[in-house]
Structure 1
């Protein structure tokens, strides 16, 4: 989701809910401890220099069980961050503490923000020898040998 989409949603809801990829909710007493901009400048395995930029939200839960972050408060934190950090309308990623810090994508489903799993990938498959995936063929779509081969036809 882009930052502008999140702000738009926050204008329409009261309660902010985040749902983990396994379907469990982030505890309602979460905090958004950071809103920031992350730039990644790197070289892929094929030698191409690349740059990526995202907006980052860091979610944190503490022992202040009565804490609730309302939609308007989160929107004001985002707007303050936009002003001081000059944030662009980029995709938002979310960090959340599990067994280690997880990095997630974000999508809206039924008024709740769902953390989506992210994947690594090779950006230079053609240069580092990773073969293209073979097309998947259903075995049922192939004719069986019994119906296509008859004795003496020379097909076997």
Structure 2
């Protein structure tokens, strides 16, 4: 989900809710302690230079159980971040949330609330590493011309 989409959803919400992948919700007294722009420059295992940019939200629970962040307040924090950090609102949003360690999630919106979606690592150069792409059901059930399977 892009930052632009987050802002559009915030404009329509009365209360702010984040749901974790296991179905539980982030406690309603959470704080958004950071809104930032994260830039990552790296070389994948195939030797390709890559550059990624994302908007990062950090959610944190405090002992302040009376705190309730409202959608309008988060929208104002985002607006200030865009202005001060020159954030492009077409960037994808990633969310950090404390579990056993800091978890990194992508963001989705369903049923009137934000959902933290699990993220996975991946090899970005499978062709260079000799890792075959997974076949679709259709590919694995049909014979390739000249393969001798028919």
TM beyond 0.5? yes
The CA distance in 1 between the partners of 2:76 and 2:11, in whole Å, is 11
The CA distance in 2 between the partners of 1:100 and 1:67, in whole Å, is 23
Where structure 2 has 5 or more consecutive residues not aligned to the other structure, the ranges are 142-150
Deviating above 6 A after TM superposition, structure 1's stretches of 4 or more consecutive aligned residues are none
| Matched residue, 2:42 | 42
Classify 1:134/1:75 alpha carbon distance in 2 versus 1 (closer, same or farther; 3 Å): closer
> Shift in Å at residue 134 of structure 1?
4.3
| Matched residue, 1:154 | none
| Matched residue, 1:129 | 130
Q: Please tell me whether residue 26 in structure 1 is matched to residue 35 in structure 2.
A: no
| Matched residue, 2:115 | 114
> Shift in Å at residue 35 of structure 1?
0.1
What TM-score do the two structures reach when normalised by structure 1? 0.85
The CA distance in 2 between the partners of 1:11 and 1:134, in whole Å, is 42
Q: Please tell me whether residue 73 in structure 1 is matched to residue 70 in structure 2.
A: no
Where structure 1 has 5 or more consecutive residues not aligned to the other structure, the ranges are 142-156
The CA distance in 1 between the partners of 2:3 and 2:97, in whole Å, is 18
| Matched residue, 2:146 | none
The CA distance in 2 between the partners of 1:11 and 1:24, in whole Å, is 24
